[in-house]
Structure 1
Amino acid sequence: MASLSEQLTAAEISRLAGVTRATVSNWRRRHPDFPQPRGGTEASPSYDRREVEAWLAARGRLPARSARDDLRTHLRGRTQRDVEAVALFTAHVAGLDEGERKKIAKLDDAAFAHAVPQAHRDVPAELLRSAVNVVLEEGPFAVFDVLDDLAEAPVAIRGTHPTPPVVAGLVAGLATAGGRRVRSVLDPACGGGRLLAAAAAALEPGARVHGQEYRPVTAAQARTRVTVEAPKASVDVRTGDSLRDDAFPDLRVDAVVCNPPYGDRDWGHDELALDTRWAYGVPPRSEPELAWVQHSLAHLSDGGHAVLLLPPATASRSSGRRIRAELLRQGALCAAIALPAGLAVPHHIGLHLWILRRPDDDRPGRDLVLLVDAADQDEDTLQEKVRGIWEAFSGSPDFDAVPGVARAVPAIDLLDDLVDLSPARHVRSAPLIDPGAALQDVTELTERLQAQLGTFADAVDIGPWTSAGETSRTWRSATVADLARGGALTVHRGVRASSADALPGDLADRPVLRARDLVGGKRASGDVREAQPAGTVTIEEGDVLLTQFVGPQGAASRVADEGDAGCLLGQGVLLLRPDPGRLDPWFLAGFVSAPDNVSQATTGTSTHHLVASRLRVPLLPLEEQTAYGQAFRKIQALKRIAENTATCANELADLITTTLSTGALLPPEH
């Protein structure tokens, strides 16, 4: 029997051959000479690598063997300790120049064993050497891509998610703004290191960068990222649970940045009840975010700042009222900033940024708190806008409010029964409106609504409909997985790359269709450099697009048209590409996005994920599919026009209400 390192699963065969798993399943069913399973289980068999490679080579389907393939082979059947050793060794190699990396790769096993750090010398040299070869061929992040593929636990556990570049840049900019000299930074929940690396890159050479992450492989990835993106920084990333087992108990830094795990009720409430970090009150079990706030403040030097990304409920939950009040009384809370929805997980809500400061005796905290409602700001200008407001507030005792966006509120005014720090509650004020301009805007919007109502009336005429009879029609159906195995469609899933490898030149400037674009009914607006799609799947006209995350309104969907064609598939988007000779795209889109179908194919509790393979599609002749498809197409047009009409009507109602309540317009005479 072949050893585990010499066996391949169906998923690994698909990666090796550069095909989908459905294609591998087809090979198994249609080719009697396809290698027989040599291990695994009936549900997930494994195959002898040499037999599979020989079978692929005989058909011209075996690509050149890559360093990644070798690393995957060497990792098969290894212990978690060996996997962690690969991650730590990769972090070590990332700090070497290319010449040193090549030199290590060429050493024989005996010399190699003496060249690696003492902690890794009991790990097989061939395993570590394969990691070095991947680093030389594709860079250090490619090693972590392989480790992620083999990981059993999902990334998004305990509410942890990578920090998107736009948010990481904003947090780093706020933590280092205002002309303060920042020579040290800490991220106590650093994950893969994106936020920590962004902060490190904003500091001067020689700055001390500290991080802690409870997953050893992810901690090594964070150290690697900081080493690559801020090579002149002094990096120290340690493993462990920051709240229960602080790896830096005596550390004081100039700045703390943090995107803590949210909604984690098992954060250590009972065992940490008497912890000295709770200077502003013992956090309730339901308020883990306020534990991270106080942990961050405890690590600041006098006058240092912390910037945390928090769920909006932290600003208003009644259970956290006393701690919020104490933060205000002691001058620790400097600002609360509401961000647009969709910037980071969970995408359906707008997160908040809190800026905190550890007051010192010489410079007590200000009695003003900056509240910024940036929920309506454009992503492209968000960082510049918010940072400009923060610098204006922190750099001058007199801050001019930005109507409807930002104002400085005395802390005592926030100390009411609710202690609600939600920015929108405090910054929305009546604007100054020119009466003549108001009348013109109302007139133009009214005319636009009237025209939209005419379009809506035409769209409603989509019948006539006929009854199916005494009972509803039934039909045989197949899952998307079955259809994919039969070649009727292919399935692609948009994911974000863990490394920022450059795309081919002809794709480098393509827009990326993200989940938020699909939800908003917009064209692709993602930038390749920020969205970092993991693959090079380009959308084609007739593709069926679905959001992978299911919101309160279900899964957003549409059939790609010429405006979508050529865009790259982004994170959180599922793509079903039907064979037009067997499946009508609008027929497919209508059934896979139907509420009942989506409901039975959804998993998860707090975050709902759509499992495309479970969606069911009726098995009907193409002629009948076309009839259903035309109906679904008209229904989709009706929904789009109805949404536009409702939006226009709401805009008009809000505008008239505002202009009447501010005195810019007078009511009609009766």
Structure 2
Amino acid sequence: MSAHEAVPVSLAEIARIAGVGRAAVSNWRRRHDSFPARIGGTDVSPQFSLAEVAQWLRNNGKLRDIAGRELLWPRFEALGSRNESGLAIAETARRMRSSRARIAHPELSTQARELVAEAAKVGRTEGPRETFEFLLQRWLETHVRQLSTTPPRLAALMARIALTVRLSPAQGGLTLLDPACGTGHLAAAVMQEYDNPGLEVLACERDPALAALAAGRLHFLAEDHDIRTRIVTADALRDDPFGETKADIALCNPPFNERDWGYEELATDQRWTHGLPPRTEPELAWVQHLLSHLRPGGAAVVVLPPAVASRKAGRRIRGSLLRTGALRAVVSLPPGSAQPHSVSLQLWILRAAPDGPAVAPPSQDALLVDATRFARSGTREPSPDWDVLGSFVLTAMATLDQADQEPPQGAVRVPLLDLLDDEVDVTPGRYTTTTAEPSCQQLASKWDAFGALLTDLANHAQLLSALDFEAGTPQTTTTVGDLVKAGALTLRVGQQAPESAAPADGAAVPLLTVADLLHDGIPSGAVPVGSTAAVAKEGDVVVAGVARAFKAWVHEGPPMALGPQLHLLRVDAEKLEPHFLAGCLCAPANGRQAGTHASSSSRVDIRRLQVLQLPLEKQTVYAETFRRLRTFEELLTAADRSGKGLLGDMGDRLAAGGLTA
């Protein structure tokens, strides 16, 4: 794209620039004749000129404070090439730190260089670090299918494990190595977790764009701290840039299943102290590379696909790792922990033998941890419950060198004699049990609880079935839109979470999204206080405006921010009863009538939802009945869950034997 061609933007991108929902942009386009004309795309997904849109937004006072960053991103995306846009963002980071810095990437086009200069100017105004992180996140989201990154929560867990497991002394600071750093997620996690001075970060990445972006990120994080960083563009296996350098900890999320990793030219490499990795086992080459760079007592944590723990070709190397005490633990993660999200990846915890004359012999067991049960099921894209998962894994790691402490349930120490068989399979699920057969007393207690649920369910069914509905003229109704106009309601629309993370001082509110509703209804994220206007307080009505998760309820907990497609209704207490309103709105027929199939998400037009027109005193009667109906629904769900749990427990108990006639 030449410098004179218009940069295209979609309705969704315009909404991001203006900080509103896509529906608002569609309304502007429909109501204002001055709105820019379409320059491309289709009727369903039109595109507009970025320059014309920006001018129209300025003229109409609809640009938000950080719109400068939002206006930048479409221009970076318009560069076309993944590498050029990535290098341009990295170059922007360098220019924001030093306006006199020379161009580090001369291959950038004239258009890219001009954009870098403008972006650096915007960044100095709106915050260099915030602007860089914004552009980096957008770049990662755009190229998510081409890149494999380490999620921040997994990176933080790996950093904590390594810092917990290492035995090397902390004299003179800490050295970290990441030989396949990507955009620097793992190194960034260590920089945030390690509080002591004297941290040195050594990182390597063979992709020039990723290495440049990692350098930009880590240099920003190193500002105002005693942290030295060195990021090198190289293939760590073929051309190790750090030679004989030793590290206290090493973290790595290496590329998986790469056959062309250098098998022929590296056949006699001195790093293979546990055996030459087979051509089909590149992951075991990365494992030995990490071990070769650990100083005595140093620890490494590496992400690996589950097949590495059991493939026949790697059993000899696995056996050697176990016999020498280098492989200390294996953790099976829940699906969704990292890409590929459908696979239960593993963490291998490695440690170099400590130095000294009175060093104890290698441990005669290995710690195997099965954390797969901490997946949050219920959607097509599972994700872990990170808080519970992290606490469980770290609790298990605390018992690694404590022979007198039992690991938590789901983790087990396995003697090497049991592991060093013909298969040398270190898959945790083969040796751990997450549940034991319930005792007779436990079963009796669960049956009592199930019976109590059924009794409550029957009582509510009796009350609800006794309700009488008079026949006659249908009641008049109004819409949410009319109630808003009348001042009986205030409507606020949930927004996309801001790119910046919640502050470390805890000044944040939980963020609920549609994906959370499809999981278990528990907020999985958080946003800084004051970053969004759609924050539900106690007594507010929340409505999910998407057909597959359509529901309405009264919020009864602490403040909670709402994500896209969630809506906040704040009632005038003198005109509306919240439980009455929520009960009217969540009727399935109401959602179907207000639904639209203009997009694949089948949105529900909140303003078209119907509400009965009743005086406040009669609303209270309806509200109480709606509460009973909601309780009946909760009891049904609880009885279903309890009954299925009893089925599983009874099956396990029967399979264990001991049934008396």
Is the CA contact (8 Å cut-off) linking 2:167 and 2:298 kept in structure 1?
A: no
Do structure 1's residue 614 and structure 2's residue 600 form an aligned pair?
Answer: yes
Question: How far apart, in 1, do the equivalents of 2:628 and 2:205 lie?
Answer: 51
Q: Counterpart of 1:222 in structure 2: which amino acid? A: A
Do structure 1's residue 131 and structure 2's residue 120 form an aligned pair?
Answer: yes
Q: Counterpart of 1:420 in structure 2: which amino acid? A: D
Question: How far apart, in 1, do the equivalents of 2:205 and 2:551 lie?
Answer: 39
Find the partner of 2:416 among 411, 417, 423: 411
Query: Match of 1:18?
Result: 19
Q: Post-superposition shift, 1:401?
A: 2.4
Q: Unaligned stretches of 5+ in structure 1?
A: 105-114, 464-488, 548-554, 602-611, 627-632
Question: How far apart, in 1, do the equivalents of 2:493 and 2:206 lie?
Answer: 34
Find the partner of 2:641 among 634, 644, 647: 647
Q: Post-superposition shift, 1:618?
A: 11
Question: How far apart, in 2, do the equivalents of 1:48 and 1:515 lie?
Answer: 30
Deviation per residue, 1:479-502 (Å, 9 max, x gap): xxxxxxxxxx9997756x554265
Q: Post-superposition shift, 1:450?
A: 1.5
Is the CA contact (8 Å cut-off) linking 1:403 and 1:429 kept in structure 2?
A: no
Secondary structure at the residue paired with 2:168?
coil
Do structure 1's residue 366 and structure 2's residue 363 form an aligned pair?
Answer: yes
Q: Counterpart of 1:543 in structure 2: which amino acid? A: V
Q: RMSD of the TM alignment (CA)?
A: 5.3
Structure 2 CA distance for partners of 1:210 and 1:575, relative to 1, 3 Å = farther
Question: How far apart, in 1, do the equivalents of 2:53 and 2:499 lie?
Answer: 29
Query: Match of 1:172?
Result: 159
Find the partner of 2:189 among 198, 201, 220: 198
Secondary structure at the residue paired with 1:524?
coil
Q: Counterpart of 2:175 in structure 1: which amino acid? A: S
Question: How far apart, in 2, do the equivalents of 1:17 and 1:430 lie?
Answer: 51
Q: Counterpart of 1:446 in structure 2: which amino acid? A: W
Is the CA contact (8 Å cut-off) linking 2:399 and 2:406 kept in structure 1?
A: no
Question: How far apart, in 2, do the equivalents of 1:58 and 1:429 lie?
Answer: 62
Q: Unaligned stretches of 5+ in structure 2?
A: 375-384, 466-490, 570-580, 613-626
Do structure 1's residue 352 and structure 2's residue 363 form an aligned pair?
Answer: no
Structure 2 CA distance for partners of 1:356 and 1:54, relative to 1, 3 Å = closer
Q: Post-superposition shift, 1:614?
A: 1.4
Is the CA contact (8 Å cut-off) linking 2:301 and 2:347 kept in structure 1?
A: yes
Query: Match of 1:333?
Result: 327
Structure 2 CA distance for partners of 1:63 and 1:587, relative to 1, 3 Å = same
Find the partner of 1:209 among 184, 201, 206: 201
Query: Match of 1:568?
Result: 561
Find the partner of 2:233 among 216, 222, 239: 239
Q: Counterpart of 1:393 in structure 2: which amino acid? A: L
Query: Match of 1:401?
Result: 406
Secondary structure at the residue paired with 2:104?
helix
Q: Post-superposition shift, 1:162?
A: 3.5
Is the CA contact (8 Å cut-off) linking 2:585 and 2:591 kept in structure 1?
A: no
Query: Match of 1:117?
Result: 102
Question: How far apart, in 2, do the equivalents of 1:375 and 1:145 lie?
Answer: 32
Query: Match of 2:445?
Result: 444
Find the partner of 2:397 among 376, 390, 395: 390
Q: Counterpart of 1:334 in structure 2: which amino acid? A: R
Query: Match of 1:630?
Result: none
Is the CA contact (8 Å cut-off) linking 2:511 and 2:523 kept in structure 1?
A: yes
Q: Post-superposition shift, 1:307?
A: 0.6
Query: Match of 2:381?
Result: none
Q: Post-superposition shift, 1:127?
A: 3.1
Q: Post-superposition shift, 1:237?
A: 1.9
Q: Which range is displaced more, 196-205 or 453-462?
A: 453-462
Structure 2 CA distance for partners of 1:221 and 1:658, relative to 1, 3 Å = same
Question: How far apart, in 1, do the equivalents of 2:239 and 2:168 lie?
Answer: 30
Mapping of residues 169-318 of structure 1, within 5 Å: 169-177=156-164, 178-181=166-169, 183-201=174-192, 202=194, 204-230=196-222, 231-239=225-233, 242=236, 247-248=241-242, 251-261=245-255, 264-265=256-257, 267-269=258-260, 272=263, 275-276=266-267, 279-283=274-278, 285=280, 289-317=283-311
Secondary structure at the residue paired with 1:4?
coil
Q: TM-score, normalised by structure 1?
A: 0.67
Secondary structure at the residue paired with 2:126?
helix
Mapping of residues 444-523 of structure 1, within 5 Å: 444-454=445-455, 499-500=500-501, 502=503, 508-513=507-512, 517-523=516-522
Secondary structure at the residue paired with 1:511?
strand
Mapping of residues 151-170 of structure 1, within 5 Å: 153-158=142-147, 160-165=148-153, 167-170=154-157
Q: Post-superposition shift, 1:125?
A: 6.6
Q: Post-superposition shift, 1:185?
A: 1.3
Is the CA contact (8 Å cut-off) linking 2:178 and 2:252 kept in structure 1?
A: yes
Is the CA contact (8 Å cut-off) linking 2:149 and 2:185 kept in structure 1?
A: no
Secondary structure at the residue paired with 2:17?
helix
Structure 2 CA distance for partners of 1:401 and 1:432, relative to 1, 3 Å = farther
Q: TM-score, normalised by structure 2?
A: 0.68
Q: Post-superposition shift, 1:413?
A: 1.0
Question: How far apart, in 2, do the equivalents of 1:490 and 1:443 lie?
Answer: 49
Is the CA contact (8 Å cut-off) linking 1:243 and 1:268 kept in structure 2?
A: no
Q: Post-superposition shift, 1:2?
A: 8.4
Deviation per residue, 1:123-150 (Å, 9 max, x gap): 7477335325414523414224235546
Is the CA contact (8 Å cut-off) linking 2:181 and 2:205 kept in structure 1?
A: yes
Question: How far apart, in 2, do the equivalents of 1:446 and 1:339 lie?
Answer: 32
Is the CA contact (8 Å cut-off) linking 1:337 and 1:352 kept in structure 2?
A: yes
Structure 2 CA distance for partners of 1:352 and 1:2, relative to 1, 3 Å = closer
Q: Post-superposition shift, 1:326?
A: 3.8
Secondary structure at the residue paired with 2:328?
strand
Structure 2 CA distance for partners of 1:219 and 1:428, relative to 1, 3 Å = same
Question: How far apart, in 2, do the equivalents of 1:533 and 1:164 lie?
Answer: 23
Deviation per residue, 1:516-568 (Å, 9 max, x gap): 85355243364548xx9996654673522779xxxxxxx77755542489523
Structure 2 CA distance for partners of 1:41 and 1:427, relative to 1, 3 Å = closer
Question: How far apart, in 2, do the equivalents of 1:221 and 1:586 lie?
Answer: 50
Do structure 1's residue 142 and structure 2's residue 144 form an aligned pair?
Answer: no
Question: How far apart, in 1, do the equivalents of 2:55 and 2:125 lie?
Answer: 28
Structure 2 CA distance for partners of 1:369 and 1:515, relative to 1, 3 Å = farther
Q: Post-superposition shift, 1:334?
A: 0.8
Question: How far apart, in 2, do the equivalents of 1:296 and 1:331 lie?
Answer: 15
Q: Post-superposition shift, 1:333?
A: 0.9
Deviation per residue, 1:84-135 (Å, 9 max, x gap): 45433444467x5xxxx6xx4xxxxxxxxxx213536887477335325414
Secondary structure at the residue paired with 1:119?
coil
Structure 2 CA distance for partners of 1:281 and 1:541, relative to 1, 3 Å = farther
Q: Post-superposition shift, 1:369?
A: 1.0
Q: Post-superposition shift, 1:449?
A: 1.0
Question: How far apart, in 2, do the equivalents of 1:533 and 1:258 lie?
Answer: 36
Query: Match of 1:484?
Result: none
Q: Post-superposition shift, 1:60?
A: 3.7
The size of the alignment, in residue pairs, is 577
Question: How far apart, in 2, do the equivalents of 1:172 and 1:186 lie?
Answer: 12
Q: Counterpart of 2:397 in structure 1: which amino acid? A: W
Structure 2 CA distance for partners of 1:339 and 1:591, relative to 1, 3 Å = farther
Question: How far apart, in 1, do the equivalents of 2:648 and 2:54 lie?
Answer: 66
Deviation per residue, 1:195-232 (Å, 9 max, x gap): 21222342743332122345544434433443344432
